[in-house]
Amino acid sequence: MTPPCYEGHQLTLLRDGAAFFPALLSAIDAAQFEIRLETYIFSSDDIGLAVTRALMCAAQRGVRVGLLLDGFGASAFPVKLRQALQDAGVQLLFFRPEVSRFALRRSRLRRLHRKLSCFDGQLAFVGGINIISDDDGPGMAPRYDYAVAVKGPVVFDIEQALARQWRYTAWMQFKKSNFVRVHWPLSREVGRAKARLVVRDNARNRHAIEKAYLQAIEAAQSEIMIANAYFLPGLRLRQALMRAAKRGVKVVLLLQDERDHALLQYASWAYYRDLLHAGVEIYQYKSGFMHAKVAVIDQAWATVGSSNIDPFSLLLAREANLVIEDASFAQQLRSDLQCRLQRDAVLILPEHVHQASYLRRAVVWTCYGLVRLLLGVSGYGGRKYLE
């Protein structure tokens, strides 16, 4: 059993970068004592430069600022910006720095995929939005994603998670960290929403996010809505979704089409036939790039975070999701998902699978086989997970 959520939270749903980045910049500007920020990608575009300047200004006015980036996702972060941040007093670390893009090491797959930040131990952001512009070019909608701003007792857990990851990264690189940890008091209760932080790592929390999904799916009574960019669930999750559909729960999946990471997207088609046969509704997002990782169950339970439902998130990467038990928040997120389904998505019908060309079927099973091979070669049990 997963731990229960606890009360006392104020939650704000942030849709896409248009809502997230102004809120993030405002939090950086308002910070007085400490800023901790983790992200997978940190671009040097207009958004990245704005966040960089805000962090440097904060450090120069005496705020302790720690910035932790993934060594692969942020490997292109310019040296000049790294130096400028450090000169301004920002402490900067890279999780598993990329040494060679052509190295075949298992550790390369263990990425820091979390998007977490915390300000003065009182305000935190959790979600899937990287520090990069969500403008993907002419004719395409802004990248579709979510984050949540949270105040209340769970902020203490988020700050602890950030601090632990910082200490671990510094220790693994034999670096002395001057980031003196502040032992913030528990945030006071500021609302009625229930929430808890769920992290996935390669130690005690290897299956924590998967278990949170499974428990909520098994308990569902009326409706399950999942929007996930990279959807290649393991056997237990697939069976749980199909059991739910067969017992009368409406199960709706909103997934990315093949334009992004085609290997995983085509591989996911290998499961469409069984899911559709069980009564699961599958929609593909067509307006642009989808990066969302959210779910709503029975209009009362929700999760927003960084974890995809694929083997790379559920078996390898460090991830963080906020699990929320609050009808108001869940219904707000559900309403937004419904708008996306109606406006930006196409329903996949059984005949789309049954009547697929031989070429498409060959592509699907080739991609599925390649994913299994990659997981097997890396030592992470592709067959055990996928079958």
Enumerate the active-site residues. 113, 115, 120, 291, 293, 298
CB-side neighbour CA atoms (13 Å) of 51? 26
How many angstroms separate the CA atoms of 120 and 132, rounded? 24
Residues 6+ apart with CB under 8 A from 100: none
How many angstroms separate the CA atoms of 67 and 90, rounded? 7
DSSP state of 96: S
Is residue 283 classed as helix, strand or coil in its secondary structure? strand
Whole-angstrom Cα Rg for the chain: 21
Tokens of 169: 């990264």
DSSP state of 144: B
Name beta bridge partners: 282.
253, 348
How many angstroms separate the CA atoms of 293 and 302, rounded? 11
Question: What one-character-per-residue DSSP string does 236-274 give?
Answer: HHHHHHHHHHHTT-EEEEEEE-TTSSHHHHHHHGGGHHH
CB 269 within 8 A of CB 366: no
Element (H, E) at 377: helix 358-378
Question: What one-character-per-residue DSSP string does 342-369 give?
Answer: HHHEEEEPHHHHHT--HHHHHHHHHHHH
Phi then psi for 39, rounded to 5 degrees?
Answer: -155, 155
Residues 6+ apart with CB under 8 A from 263: 367, 370, 371
CB 199 within 8 A of CB 208: yes
Q: What type of residue sits at position 155?
A: V
CB 83 within 8 A of CB 97: no
